[in-house]
């Protein structure tokens, strides 16, 4: 598992090729991701799993299958990690899980009051975009 975090040169995460291979496996990965999100080894694993879910949604996996693992995703709704917030917002934006709207608003308010430190990007851009998609 190799994730390169955002830094002063790149304001985004990069992943090794194995992550992209997992994303092409579609439905088979849903249960694996669900299990990993229940008890992740570290933040890197969470970020990798959320990135894979984002790619899977882009590749046409059924939104309902991702919606089914909302209980595992919601475990991270209170995170202060800008990376996790950004990937969650992207997933919620694509699936429009009704229960995720409130947590998105909470993340936006939380970040407005206490902006993330050491972030090389603004997670509120993705969070705000997701909120606007819900409203539209």
Gap between the Cα atoms of 134 and 136, Å rounded = 6
Residue 11 confidence (pLDDT): 87
Print the domain residue range for 74. Answer: 3-135
Residue 1 confidence (pLDDT): 54
Residue 38 confidence (pLDDT): 96
Question: With contact defined as beta carbons under 8 Å apart, do 85 and 107 qualify?
Answer: yes
Q: Which residues of the chain have pLDDT under 50?
A: none
pTM assigned to the model: 0.93
Q: Which of 32, 42, 39, 36 is nearest to 3 (CA)?
A: 42
Q: Which residues pair with 3 in a beta bridge?
A: 15
Count structural domains, the chain.
Answer: 1
């Amino acid at each position: 598992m190799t994730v390169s975090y955002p830094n002063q040169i790149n304001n985004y995460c990069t992943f090794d090729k194995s992550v992209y291979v997992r994303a092409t496996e579609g439905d088979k990965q849903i249960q694996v991701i669900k299990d990993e999100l229940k008890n992740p080894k570290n933040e890197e694993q969470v970020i990798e799993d959320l990135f894979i879910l984002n790619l899977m949604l882009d590749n046409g996996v059924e939104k309902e299958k991702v919606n089914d693992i909302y209980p595992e995703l919601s475990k991270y709704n209170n995170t202060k990690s800008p990376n996790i917030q950004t990937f969650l917002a992207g997933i919620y934006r694509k699936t429009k899980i009704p229960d995720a709207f409130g947590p998105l608003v909470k993340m936006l308010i939380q970040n407005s009051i206490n902006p993330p430190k050491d972030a090389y990007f603004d997670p509120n851009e993705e969070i705000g975009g997701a909120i606007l998609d819900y409203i539209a």
